[in-house]
Structure 1
Protein backbone atom coordinates (compact mmCIF):
# COMPACT_ATOMS: atom_id res chain seq x y z
CA UNK A 1 0.00 0.00 0.00
CA UNK A 2 1.25 3.46 -0.91
CA UNK A 3 2.45 5.27 2.18
CA UNK A 4 0.69 8.25 3.71
CA UNK A 5 3.79 10.34 3.07
CA UNK A 6 3.76 9.68 -0.66
CA UNK A 7 0.07 10.47 -0.92
CA UNK A 8 0.45 13.66 1.09
CA UNK A 9 3.31 14.68 -1.18
CA UNK A 10 1.01 14.37 -4.17
CA UNK A 11 -1.69 16.37 -2.42
CA UNK A 12 0.73 19.13 -1.47
CA UNK A 13 1.85 19.33 -5.09
CA UNK A 14 -1.82 19.67 -6.07
CA UNK A 15 -2.25 22.59 -3.69
CA UNK A 16 -3.44 20.99 -0.44
CA UNK A 17 -2.47 23.41 2.32
CA UNK A 18 -3.76 21.71 5.45
CA UNK A 19 -5.30 23.63 8.35
CA UNK A 20 -4.86 27.03 6.70
CA UNK A 21 -8.03 26.21 4.75
CA UNK A 22 -11.19 27.99 5.87
CA UNK A 23 -13.30 25.70 8.04
CA UNK A 24 -17.04 25.17 7.88
CA UNK A 25 -19.16 22.81 9.99
CA UNK A 26 -21.65 20.07 9.11
CA UNK A 27 -23.79 18.41 11.78
CA UNK A 28 -24.16 14.64 11.64
CA UNK A 29 -27.61 13.31 12.55
CA UNK A 30 -27.54 11.33 15.78
CA UNK A 31 -30.88 9.57 15.34
CA UNK A 32 -29.69 6.76 12.97
CA UNK A 33 -27.24 5.71 15.70
CA UNK A 34 -29.48 6.21 18.73
CA UNK A 35 -30.03 2.51 19.37
CA UNK A 36 -26.32 1.67 19.24
CA UNK A 37 -25.39 4.69 21.37
CA UNK A 38 -27.98 3.84 24.01
CA UNK A 39 -27.25 5.60 27.30
CA UNK A 40 -23.61 6.31 26.48
CA UNK A 41 -22.25 9.84 26.27
CA UNK A 42 -20.66 10.22 22.82
CA UNK A 43 -18.84 13.08 21.14
CA UNK A 44 -17.37 12.88 17.64
CA UNK A 45 -15.59 15.29 15.35
CA UNK A 46 -13.91 14.74 12.00
CA UNK A 47 -12.18 17.11 9.58
CA UNK A 48 -11.71 16.71 5.85
CA UNK A 49 -8.21 18.10 5.36
CA UNK A 50 -8.89 18.72 1.69
CA UNK A 51 -11.68 21.24 2.31
CA UNK A 52 -11.24 22.09 5.99
CA UNK A 53 -14.84 21.08 6.69
CA UNK A 54 -15.63 19.83 10.19
CA UNK A 55 -18.22 17.10 10.74
CA UNK A 56 -19.65 16.99 14.27
CA UNK A 57 -22.11 14.48 15.71
CA UNK A 58 -25.26 16.18 16.94
CA UNK A 59 -25.07 16.76 20.69
CA UNK A 60 -21.29 16.40 20.93
CA UNK A 61 -19.21 18.21 23.56
CA UNK A 62 -16.18 18.70 21.33
CA UNK A 63 -14.52 21.32 23.55
CA UNK A 64 -14.71 19.39 26.83
CA UNK A 65 -11.25 18.26 27.89
CA UNK A 66 -10.69 14.70 29.02
CA UNK A 67 -7.75 12.45 29.89
CA UNK A 68 -6.23 11.19 26.61
CA UNK A 69 -5.34 7.76 28.01
CA UNK A 70 -3.58 5.62 25.39
CA UNK A 71 -4.39 7.93 22.48
CA UNK A 72 -1.39 9.84 23.86
CA UNK A 73 0.73 7.06 22.41
CA UNK A 74 0.45 8.89 19.07
CA UNK A 75 2.45 11.95 20.19
CA UNK A 76 4.41 9.83 22.67
CA UNK A 77 5.70 7.52 19.93
CA UNK A 78 6.73 10.52 17.83
CA UNK A 79 8.45 12.22 20.77
CA UNK A 80 10.31 9.00 21.63
CA UNK A 81 11.60 8.74 18.06
CA UNK A 82 12.38 12.43 17.63
CA UNK A 83 14.34 12.65 20.90
CA UNK A 84 16.22 9.38 20.39
CA UNK A 85 14.61 7.66 23.38
CA UNK A 86 13.77 5.02 20.77
CA UNK A 87 15.69 4.59 17.52
CA UNK A 88 12.96 2.82 15.55
CA UNK A 89 9.84 0.72 15.85
CA UNK A 90 12.11 -2.25 16.51
CA UNK A 91 13.80 -0.71 19.56
CA UNK A 92 13.72 -3.23 22.41
CA UNK A 93 11.83 -2.24 25.55
CA UNK A 94 12.62 -4.92 28.17
CA UNK A 95 10.12 -5.52 30.95
CA UNK A 96 11.47 -5.32 34.50
CA UNK A 97 8.81 -6.90 36.75
CA UNK A 98 10.48 -5.48 39.84
CA UNK A 99 10.13 -1.95 38.52
CA UNK A 100 6.79 -2.45 36.75
CA UNK A 101 4.95 -5.21 38.62
CA UNK A 102 1.96 -6.59 36.74
CA UNK A 103 -1.46 -5.42 37.86
CA UNK A 104 -4.44 -7.73 37.81
CA UNK A 105 -6.01 -6.02 34.79
CA UNK A 106 -2.90 -6.43 32.62
CA UNK A 107 -3.46 -8.61 29.53
CA UNK A 108 -0.99 -11.43 28.98
CA UNK A 109 0.74 -9.68 26.10
CA UNK A 110 1.85 -6.84 28.41
CA UNK A 111 3.68 -9.28 30.68
CA UNK A 112 6.73 -9.63 28.45
CA UNK A 113 9.42 -7.64 26.68
CA UNK A 114 8.18 -5.28 23.98
CA UNK A 115 9.43 -3.34 21.01
CA UNK A 116 8.20 0.19 20.34
CA UNK A 117 5.90 -1.30 17.71
CA UNK A 118 4.36 -3.98 19.92
CA UNK A 119 4.06 -1.55 22.83
CA UNK A 120 1.99 0.78 20.63
CA UNK A 121 -0.14 -1.95 19.11
CA UNK A 122 -0.73 -3.74 22.43
CA UNK A 123 -1.10 -0.43 24.26
CA UNK A 124 1.44 -1.56 26.87
CA UNK A 125 1.36 1.32 29.32
CA UNK A 126 4.47 0.32 31.28
CA UNK A 127 6.67 0.54 28.17
CA UNK A 128 5.61 4.10 27.43
CA UNK A 129 6.05 5.01 31.09
CA UNK A 130 9.66 3.81 30.81
CA UNK A 131 10.09 5.96 27.70
CA UNK A 132 8.53 8.95 29.46
CA UNK A 133 11.00 8.63 32.32
CA UNK A 134 13.82 8.76 29.78
CA UNK A 135 12.41 11.67 27.78
CA UNK A 136 11.80 13.86 30.83
CA UNK A 137 9.13 16.32 31.93
CA UNK A 138 10.73 19.45 30.45
CA UNK A 139 10.86 17.95 26.97
CA UNK A 140 7.21 16.93 27.16
CA UNK A 141 6.13 20.36 28.36
CA UNK A 142 8.05 22.07 25.56
CA UNK A 143 6.76 19.75 22.82
CA UNK A 144 3.15 19.63 23.96
CA UNK A 145 3.01 23.40 24.43
CA UNK A 146 4.51 23.99 20.97
CA UNK A 147 2.05 21.49 19.50
CA UNK A 148 -0.94 22.97 21.41
CA UNK A 149 -1.74 19.46 22.61
CA UNK A 150 -4.59 19.99 25.06
CA UNK A 151 -3.61 21.79 28.24
CA UNK A 152 0.02 20.56 27.89
CA UNK A 153 0.12 19.85 31.64
CA UNK A 154 2.99 17.58 32.72
CA UNK A 155 3.74 17.10 36.40
CA UNK A 156 7.42 17.28 37.25
CA UNK A 157 9.00 13.82 37.19
CA UNK A 158 5.75 12.08 36.26
CA UNK A 159 5.76 9.07 33.95
CA UNK A 160 1.96 8.72 33.87
CA UNK A 161 0.67 12.26 33.38
CA UNK A 162 -1.54 11.13 30.48
CA UNK A 163 -3.14 8.47 32.71
CA UNK A 164 -3.91 10.32 35.96
CA UNK A 165 -6.08 13.28 34.82
CA UNK A 166 -3.10 15.68 34.72
CA UNK A 167 -2.93 16.06 30.94
CA UNK A 168 -6.32 16.70 29.31
CA UNK A 169 -7.43 17.26 25.73
CA UNK A 170 -10.73 17.82 23.95
CA UNK A 171 -11.99 16.06 20.81
CA UNK A 172 -11.49 19.29 18.87
CA UNK A 173 -7.90 19.57 20.12
CA UNK A 174 -7.26 15.94 19.16
CA UNK A 175 -8.45 16.77 15.63
CA UNK A 176 -6.43 20.01 15.55
CA UNK A 177 -3.29 18.13 16.61
CA UNK A 178 -3.71 15.46 13.92
CA UNK A 179 -4.48 18.16 11.37
CA UNK A 180 -1.21 19.96 12.09
CA UNK A 181 0.70 16.68 12.32
CA UNK A 182 -0.47 15.33 8.97
CA UNK A 183 -0.08 18.76 7.37
CA UNK A 184 3.59 18.67 8.45
CA UNK A 185 3.38 21.80 10.55
CA UNK A 186 5.00 20.33 13.68
CA UNK A 187 8.55 19.84 12.42
CA UNK A 188 8.30 16.04 12.66
CA UNK A 189 10.75 14.06 10.52
CA UNK A 190 9.69 11.95 7.55
CA UNK A 191 11.03 8.85 9.34
CA UNK A 192 8.79 9.45 12.36
CA UNK A 193 5.78 10.09 10.11
CA UNK A 194 6.37 6.79 8.34
CA UNK A 195 6.74 4.94 11.65
CA UNK A 196 3.41 6.30 12.88
CA UNK A 197 1.78 5.45 9.55
CA UNK A 198 3.07 1.88 9.72
CA UNK A 199 2.21 1.15 13.34
CA UNK A 200 -1.22 2.81 13.42
CA UNK A 201 -2.68 1.04 10.37
CA UNK A 202 -5.90 -0.58 11.56
CA UNK A 203 -7.39 -1.92 8.34
CA UNK A 204 -8.71 -1.08 4.89
CA UNK A 205 -12.20 0.28 4.27
CA UNK A 206 -13.99 0.93 0.98
CA UNK A 207 -13.34 4.65 1.47
CA UNK A 208 -9.68 4.40 2.52
CA UNK A 209 -7.05 3.04 4.90
CA UNK A 210 -7.93 3.46 8.56
CA UNK A 211 -5.26 4.49 11.06
CA UNK A 212 -6.12 4.84 14.72
CA UNK A 213 -5.43 4.40 18.41
CA UNK A 214 -7.79 3.53 21.22
CA UNK A 215 -7.57 4.71 24.80
CA UNK A 216 -9.63 4.11 27.92
CA UNK A 217 -9.65 4.46 31.68
CA UNK A 218 -11.90 4.86 34.72
CA UNK A 219 -13.67 8.18 35.22
CA UNK A 220 -12.75 7.89 38.90
CA UNK A 221 -9.17 6.62 39.08
CA UNK A 222 -9.83 4.55 42.18
CA UNK A 223 -12.90 2.79 40.76
CA UNK A 224 -12.04 0.19 38.12
CA UNK A 225 -15.56 -1.22 38.41
CA UNK A 226 -17.31 2.10 37.82
CA UNK A 227 -17.85 4.37 34.83
CA UNK A 228 -15.27 4.29 32.04
CA UNK A 229 -14.38 6.71 29.30
CA UNK A 230 -12.69 5.85 26.05
CA UNK A 231 -11.39 7.23 22.78
CA UNK A 232 -10.78 6.21 19.21
CA UNK A 233 -8.60 8.77 17.45
CA UNK A 234 -6.90 8.69 14.07
CA UNK A 235 -7.12 9.38 10.37
CA UNK A 236 -8.53 7.94 7.17
CA UNK A 237 -6.15 7.97 4.20
CA UNK A 238 -7.89 8.28 0.82
CA UNK A 239 -6.43 7.86 -2.65
CA UNK A 240 -5.62 11.18 -4.35
CA UNK A 241 -7.36 13.21 -1.65
CA UNK A 242 -6.25 14.63 1.67
CA UNK A 243 -6.92 12.50 4.77
CA UNK A 244 -9.82 12.83 7.16
CA UNK A 245 -8.77 13.18 10.81
CA UNK A 246 -11.16 12.30 13.61
CA UNK A 247 -11.69 11.82 17.34
CA UNK A 248 -14.44 9.98 19.18
CA UNK A 249 -14.88 10.14 22.93
CA UNK A 250 -17.40 7.96 24.78
CA UNK A 251 -18.39 7.34 28.37
CA UNK A 252 -20.36 4.35 29.66
CA UNK A 253 -21.23 2.59 32.89
CA UNK A 254 -18.33 0.13 32.54
CA UNK A 255 -15.33 -0.73 30.37
CA UNK A 256 -17.36 -3.36 28.52
CA UNK A 257 -19.66 -0.57 27.37
CA UNK A 258 -16.91 1.15 25.42
CA UNK A 259 -14.41 -1.62 24.67
CA UNK A 260 -15.56 -2.38 21.11
CA UNK A 261 -18.10 0.42 20.83
CA UNK A 262 -15.58 3.28 20.46
CA UNK A 263 -14.03 2.01 17.22
CA UNK A 264 -17.28 0.59 15.84
CA UNK A 265 -19.11 3.88 16.39
CA UNK A 266 -16.23 5.92 14.97
CA UNK A 267 -16.24 3.79 11.82
CA UNK A 268 -20.00 4.21 11.40
CA UNK A 269 -19.68 7.96 11.75
CA UNK A 270 -16.74 8.06 9.33
CA UNK A 271 -19.00 6.34 6.81
CA UNK A 272 -21.54 9.10 7.37
CA UNK A 273 -18.81 11.66 6.75
CA UNK A 274 -17.53 10.12 3.52
CA UNK A 275 -21.09 9.64 2.27
CA UNK A 276 -21.71 13.38 2.77
CA UNK A 277 -18.50 14.21 0.93
CA UNK A 278 -19.28 11.94 -2.05
Structure 2
Protein backbone atom coordinates (compact mmCIF):
# COMPACT_ATOMS: atom_id res chain seq x y z
CA UNK A 1 0.00 0.00 0.00
CA UNK A 2 1.41 3.46 -0.89
CA UNK A 3 2.96 5.49 1.94
CA UNK A 4 0.46 8.35 1.52
CA UNK A 5 -2.54 5.99 1.67
CA UNK A 6 -1.28 4.38 4.87
CA UNK A 7 -0.71 7.76 6.46
CA UNK A 8 -4.19 8.94 5.52
CA UNK A 9 -5.66 5.78 7.02
CA UNK A 10 -3.71 6.49 10.18
CA UNK A 11 -5.09 10.02 10.39
CA UNK A 12 -8.66 8.87 9.82
CA UNK A 13 -8.39 6.34 12.62
CA UNK A 14 -7.36 8.91 15.22
CA UNK A 15 -9.84 10.69 17.53
CA UNK A 16 -11.39 13.61 15.67
CA UNK A 17 -10.25 16.17 18.26
CA UNK A 18 -6.58 15.16 18.04
CA UNK A 19 -3.95 17.24 16.28
CA UNK A 20 -1.40 14.84 14.80
CA UNK A 21 2.31 15.42 14.47
CA UNK A 22 4.94 13.07 13.13
CA UNK A 23 7.95 13.07 15.44
CA UNK A 24 10.96 12.40 13.26
CA UNK A 25 13.21 13.25 16.22
CA UNK A 26 11.98 10.15 18.04
CA UNK A 27 13.77 8.01 15.45
CA UNK A 28 16.94 8.60 17.47
CA UNK A 29 15.40 6.85 20.48
CA UNK A 30 14.89 3.74 18.35
CA UNK A 31 18.27 4.04 16.61
CA UNK A 32 20.28 4.24 19.83
CA UNK A 33 18.97 0.76 20.72
CA UNK A 34 19.17 -0.51 17.13
CA UNK A 35 15.40 -1.03 17.04
CA UNK A 36 12.83 -0.80 14.25
CA UNK A 37 9.25 -0.03 15.14
CA UNK A 38 6.59 2.56 15.84
CA UNK A 39 5.06 4.46 18.72
CA UNK A 40 1.86 6.47 19.01
CA UNK A 41 1.47 8.87 21.93
CA UNK A 42 -1.77 10.73 22.67
CA UNK A 43 -1.32 13.50 25.24
CA UNK A 44 -4.65 14.55 26.72
CA UNK A 45 -2.95 17.07 28.98
CA UNK A 46 -2.71 19.40 25.99
CA UNK A 47 -5.71 21.57 25.01
CA UNK A 48 -5.91 20.00 21.53
CA UNK A 49 -5.16 16.46 22.78
CA UNK A 50 -2.08 16.19 20.61
CA UNK A 51 -1.19 12.86 19.02
CA UNK A 52 2.45 12.23 18.16
CA UNK A 53 3.68 9.34 16.05
CA UNK A 54 6.97 7.86 14.95
CA UNK A 55 6.67 5.76 11.78
CA UNK A 56 2.98 6.41 10.94
CA UNK A 57 2.94 3.76 8.22
CA UNK A 58 3.74 1.04 10.73
CA UNK A 59 1.37 2.58 13.29
CA UNK A 60 -1.46 1.81 10.84
CA UNK A 61 -0.38 -1.82 10.37
CA UNK A 62 -1.99 -4.60 12.37
CA UNK A 63 0.04 -7.11 14.34
CA UNK A 64 -0.84 -9.92 16.71
CA UNK A 65 -1.59 -8.30 20.09
CA UNK A 66 0.25 -11.07 21.95
CA UNK A 67 0.03 -10.52 25.71
CA UNK A 68 -1.35 -7.00 25.42
CA UNK A 69 -4.54 -8.95 24.73
CA UNK A 70 -4.60 -9.90 28.42
CA UNK A 71 -6.24 -6.51 29.01
CA UNK A 72 -9.46 -7.23 27.06
CA UNK A 73 -9.16 -10.98 27.70
CA UNK A 74 -9.42 -10.41 31.45
CA UNK A 75 -12.56 -8.34 30.93
CA UNK A 76 -14.02 -11.09 28.75
CA UNK A 77 -13.23 -13.77 31.34
CA UNK A 78 -14.79 -11.75 34.16
CA UNK A 79 -17.91 -11.05 32.11
CA UNK A 80 -18.26 -14.70 31.08
CA UNK A 81 -17.91 -15.88 34.69
CA UNK A 82 -14.77 -17.85 33.89
CA UNK A 83 -13.04 -16.09 36.78
CA UNK A 84 -14.81 -14.77 39.87
CA UNK A 85 -12.45 -12.07 41.11
CA UNK A 86 -8.81 -11.15 41.66
CA UNK A 87 -8.48 -13.61 44.56
CA UNK A 88 -9.42 -16.80 42.73
CA UNK A 89 -6.45 -19.18 42.57
CA UNK A 90 -5.60 -21.10 39.41
CA UNK A 91 -3.59 -24.21 40.40
CA UNK A 92 -0.40 -24.89 38.49
CA UNK A 93 -0.52 -28.32 36.85
CA UNK A 94 3.18 -28.98 37.40
CA UNK A 95 4.16 -28.61 33.75
CA UNK A 96 7.48 -26.76 33.64
CA UNK A 97 7.69 -23.55 31.62
CA UNK A 98 10.80 -21.63 30.57
CA UNK A 99 9.80 -18.62 32.68
CA UNK A 100 9.93 -19.45 36.40
CA UNK A 101 7.08 -17.07 37.21
CA UNK A 102 4.70 -19.37 35.32
CA UNK A 103 5.62 -22.41 37.42
CA UNK A 104 3.35 -21.70 40.37
CA UNK A 105 -0.28 -21.17 41.29
CA UNK A 106 -1.66 -17.94 39.84
CA UNK A 107 -4.25 -15.28 40.49
CA UNK A 108 -5.43 -12.64 38.04
CA UNK A 109 -2.87 -10.23 39.44
CA UNK A 110 0.09 -12.58 39.10
CA UNK A 111 -1.11 -13.83 35.70
CA UNK A 112 -1.20 -10.26 34.41
CA UNK A 113 2.17 -9.37 35.95
CA UNK A 114 3.90 -12.56 34.77
CA UNK A 115 2.03 -12.82 31.43
CA UNK A 116 1.07 -16.36 32.37
CA UNK A 117 -0.13 -17.81 29.10
CA UNK A 118 -1.53 -21.05 30.53
CA UNK A 119 -4.05 -19.16 32.68
CA UNK A 120 -5.38 -17.26 29.67
CA UNK A 121 -5.34 -20.41 27.55
CA UNK A 122 -7.79 -21.80 30.08
CA UNK A 123 -9.94 -18.66 29.77
CA UNK A 124 -9.99 -19.02 25.98
CA UNK A 125 -11.03 -22.66 26.20
CA UNK A 126 -13.86 -21.87 28.63
CA UNK A 127 -15.11 -18.86 26.64
CA UNK A 128 -14.95 -20.60 23.26
CA UNK A 129 -14.34 -19.10 19.82
CA UNK A 130 -17.95 -18.05 19.02
CA UNK A 131 -18.30 -16.04 22.22
CA UNK A 132 -14.78 -14.63 21.88
CA UNK A 133 -15.64 -13.44 18.38
CA UNK A 134 -18.80 -11.76 19.68
CA UNK A 135 -16.82 -9.98 22.40
CA UNK A 136 -14.18 -8.82 19.94
CA UNK A 137 -16.77 -7.49 17.52
CA UNK A 138 -18.52 -5.69 20.35
CA UNK A 139 -15.21 -4.12 21.34
CA UNK A 140 -14.28 -3.35 17.72
CA UNK A 141 -10.89 -4.77 18.66
CA UNK A 142 -8.56 -4.79 15.65
CA UNK A 143 -9.81 -7.22 13.04
CA UNK A 144 -11.91 -9.04 15.71
CA UNK A 145 -10.89 -12.46 14.35
CA UNK A 146 -10.06 -15.11 17.00
CA UNK A 147 -9.65 -17.97 14.52
CA UNK A 148 -6.50 -20.05 14.78
CA UNK A 149 -5.22 -23.27 13.23
CA UNK A 150 -2.83 -24.10 16.03
CA UNK A 151 -1.79 -22.34 19.23
CA UNK A 152 -3.27 -19.31 20.95
CA UNK A 153 -5.35 -17.00 18.79
CA UNK A 154 -3.93 -13.80 20.30
CA UNK A 155 -0.37 -14.95 19.52
CA UNK A 156 -0.50 -17.55 16.74
CA UNK A 157 -3.88 -16.84 15.15
CA UNK A 158 -5.43 -14.25 12.90
CA UNK A 159 -6.27 -11.69 15.60
CA UNK A 160 -4.41 -8.46 14.83
CA UNK A 161 -4.50 -4.84 15.97
CA UNK A 162 -2.57 -1.68 15.08
CA UNK A 163 -0.83 0.72 17.44
CA UNK A 164 -3.41 3.40 16.67
CA UNK A 165 -6.24 0.95 17.44
CA UNK A 166 -4.56 0.07 20.73
CA UNK A 167 -4.74 3.76 21.67
CA UNK A 168 -8.48 3.94 20.95
CA UNK A 169 -9.12 0.83 23.03
CA UNK A 170 -7.08 2.18 25.95
CA UNK A 171 -8.93 5.49 25.86
CA UNK A 172 -12.23 3.66 26.26
CA UNK A 173 -10.89 1.60 29.14
CA UNK A 174 -9.51 4.68 30.86
CA UNK A 175 -12.98 6.26 30.73
CA UNK A 176 -14.82 3.06 31.71
CA UNK A 177 -16.59 3.16 28.34
CA UNK A 178 -16.12 -0.47 27.35
CA UNK A 179 -19.19 -2.76 27.28
CA UNK A 180 -18.33 -4.40 30.58
CA UNK A 181 -19.25 -3.85 34.22
CA UNK A 182 -17.74 -0.74 35.77
CA UNK A 183 -16.17 -2.74 38.60
CA UNK A 184 -14.51 -5.11 36.12
CA UNK A 185 -12.98 -2.24 34.15
CA UNK A 186 -11.69 -0.70 37.37
CA UNK A 187 -10.20 -4.03 38.45
CA UNK A 188 -8.36 -4.50 35.16
CA UNK A 189 -6.93 -0.99 35.39
CA UNK A 190 -5.72 -1.81 38.90
CA UNK A 191 -4.06 -5.00 37.62
CA UNK A 192 -2.23 -2.93 34.99
CA UNK A 193 -0.35 -0.71 37.48
CA UNK A 194 3.38 -0.88 36.80
CA UNK A 195 4.53 2.12 38.81
CA UNK A 196 2.85 4.68 41.03
CA UNK A 197 4.31 7.87 42.45
CA UNK A 198 2.73 10.77 44.31
CA UNK A 199 1.60 12.67 41.21
CA UNK A 200 1.35 9.99 38.53
CA UNK A 201 0.45 6.37 37.85
CA UNK A 202 1.80 4.22 35.02
CA UNK A 203 -0.53 1.45 33.81
CA UNK A 204 0.77 -0.77 31.02
CA UNK A 205 1.08 -4.25 29.53
CA UNK A 206 3.83 -5.89 27.53
CA UNK A 207 3.36 -8.31 24.67
CA UNK A 208 5.68 -10.52 22.64
CA UNK A 209 4.85 -12.61 19.59
CA UNK A 210 8.44 -13.74 19.05
CA UNK A 211 9.20 -11.61 16.00
CA UNK A 212 7.98 -8.36 17.54
CA UNK A 213 6.97 -6.96 20.90
CA UNK A 214 4.55 -4.43 22.38
CA UNK A 215 4.29 -2.05 25.31
CA UNK A 216 0.96 -0.26 25.62
CA UNK A 217 -0.73 1.75 28.35
CA UNK A 218 -0.95 5.23 29.76
CA UNK A 219 0.44 7.57 32.41
CA UNK A 220 -2.15 9.31 34.57
CA UNK A 221 -1.37 12.87 35.63
CA UNK A 222 -3.62 15.38 37.44
CA UNK A 223 -3.77 17.31 34.14
CA UNK A 224 -4.90 14.22 32.19
CA UNK A 225 -3.66 10.91 30.77
CA UNK A 226 -0.90 10.27 28.25
CA UNK A 227 -1.59 7.14 26.19
CA UNK A 228 1.11 5.17 24.36
CA UNK A 229 1.38 2.13 22.12
CA UNK A 230 4.77 0.90 20.92
CA UNK A 231 5.74 -2.11 18.89
CA UNK A 232 9.20 -3.08 17.69
CA UNK A 233 10.82 -5.94 15.81
CA UNK A 234 12.70 -8.37 18.06
CA UNK A 235 15.21 -10.17 15.80
CA UNK A 236 17.33 -11.03 18.83
CA UNK A 237 14.25 -12.38 20.60
CA UNK A 238 14.45 -12.14 24.41
CA UNK A 239 17.57 -9.98 24.24
CA UNK A 240 15.47 -7.26 22.59
CA UNK A 241 12.60 -7.25 25.07
CA UNK A 242 14.03 -4.56 27.34
CA UNK A 243 13.96 -2.16 24.38
CA UNK A 244 10.15 -1.96 24.48
CA UNK A 245 10.11 -0.24 27.83
CA UNK A 246 13.44 1.57 27.44
CA UNK A 247 12.38 3.31 24.22
CA UNK A 248 8.91 4.17 25.47
CA UNK A 249 10.15 5.65 28.72
CA UNK A 250 12.79 7.70 26.89
CA UNK A 251 10.15 9.08 24.53
CA UNK A 252 7.66 9.84 27.30
CA UNK A 253 10.37 11.78 29.11
CA UNK A 254 10.80 14.03 26.05
CA UNK A 255 7.27 15.35 26.60
CA UNK A 256 7.46 15.31 30.42
CA UNK A 257 5.00 12.43 30.59
CA UNK A 258 7.47 10.69 32.88
CA UNK A 259 10.03 12.34 35.16
CA UNK A 260 13.69 12.35 34.19
CA UNK A 261 15.57 9.13 34.88
CA UNK A 262 17.51 9.18 38.13
In structure 2, which of residues 56, 67, 75 is the aligned counterpart of residue 78 of structure 1? 75
Q: How many residues align?
A: 241
Counterpart-to-counterpart distance in 2, 1:95 and 1:108: 12
Give 1:156-167 correspondences, 5 Å limit: 160-167=152-159
Aligned residue number for residue 165 of structure 2? 173
TM-score by length of 2: 0.83
Aligned residue number for residue 44 of structure 1? 39
TM-score by length of 1: 0.79
Matched, 1:251 2:248: no
| Residue 188 of structure 1, CA deviation | 2.5
| Residue 233 of structure 1, CA deviation | 0.6
| CA deviation profile, 1:178-200 (whole Å, cap 9, x unmatched) | 11222232233221122122211
Matched, 1:232 2:215: yes
Q: Gaps (5+ residues) in structure 1?
A: 1-18, 219-227
Aligned residue number for residue 21 of structure 2? 26
Give the 3 Å change call, closer, same or farther, for CA 75–31 of structure 1 in structure 2: closer
Matched, 1:146 2:138: yes
Tell me if structure 2 keeps the 8 A contact 1:229–1:258: no
Question: Following superposition, which runs of at least 4 residues in structure 1 exceed 6 angstroms of deviation?
Answer: 156-159
Q: Gaps (5+ residues) in structure 2?
A: 1-13, 258-262
Counterpart-to-counterpart distance in 2, 1:274 and 1:91: 38
Q: Provide the aligned C-alpha RMSD in A.
A: 2.4
Counterpart-to-counterpart distance in 2, 1:259 and 1:156: 25
